[in-house]
Amino acid sequence: MSGQLPAGIERVLFTEEEIEERIRQVAAEVTAKYAGRQLKLIGVLKGSVFFLTQLARRIDLPLKIDFLAISSFSAKAGAPGLVRIAKDLDEGIEGEDVLLVEDIVDTGFTLRYLLQTLSGRGPNSLAVCTFLDRTSRRIVQTPIDYRCFEIPDHFVVGYGLDYHQAYRNLNYVAVMRPDKLS
Ligand code: IMP
Ligand code: MG
């Protein structure tokens, strides 16, 4: 990370070095927990992609990867949305040890929906690993097994997270300038 921040960015919250160090720690926890087993990482498109690929590189286990995409609709902006699967997994998960990988858990509605849906498909185990966790805005309580960072109540972008599809490729996590959010 060098030079000026892009327009729209207020400040850096976590640098690439901090992120990669933390991912290494979480990957070590996962490796220890699932020792002797094969793991399936399920990423939620598109926000979790950058995190998932870095995490997967640091997990020392036989591992498979699959993705799903969701869309959420809300009746009015900011209201809890209805969630549905826009792109489903390529393969079933019956009998597998599944780790659901999220970019951020905010209200918890998305995660609750995903856990309900995936648990109905007969995995041997189902756990959650989120890159960011904003507990201050939680509405539905959902179990989280692994989290990299708890974040304050600001809109953040980078390392996969977007604002209107932009900023995903920043190699750090940053707070958006509130005056740039519509
Ligand atoms: P939840 O259902 O409210 O927990 O919403 C989680 C989803 O909202 C995440 O998977 C993100 O796609 C999106 N989201 C929530 N907060 C942020 C943020 O600060 N930056 C970017 N995306 C966010
Ligand atoms: Mg998401």
Domain boundaries, the chain: 16-152
| Residue of minimum CA distance from atom 19 in ligand 1 | 155
Sequence-ordered list of residues with C-beta below 8 angstroms from that of 135, at least 6 positions apart, any chain: 150
Q: What is the pLDDT of residue 172?
A: 98
Q: In what order do the strands lie in the sheet with 156-157?
A: 9-14, 173-176, 156-157
Average pLDDT over residues 61-87: 84
Express each pLDDT in 91-109 by its tens digit: 999 999 999 999 999 999 9
Check whether 112 has a pLDDT greater than 70.
Answer: yes
| Residues classed as catalytic | 106
Pocket lining: 174 vs ligand 1, CB cutoff 6 Å: no
Residue of 71, 83, 103 with the most ligand 1 atoms within 8 Å of its CB, for mutation: 103
Pick the CATH number of 16-152 from 3.90.79.10, 3.40.630.40, 3.40.50.2020, 3.30.360.10: 3.40.50.2020
Check whether 76 has a pLDDT greater than 90.
Answer: no
What's this model's pTM, rounded to 2 decimal places? 0.95
Check whether 1 has a pLDDT greater than 90.
Answer: no
Pocket lining: 161 vs ligand 1, CB cutoff 6 Å: yes
CA distances (Å), origin 23, targets 26, 51, 94, 107, 164: 5, 8, 27, 23, 26
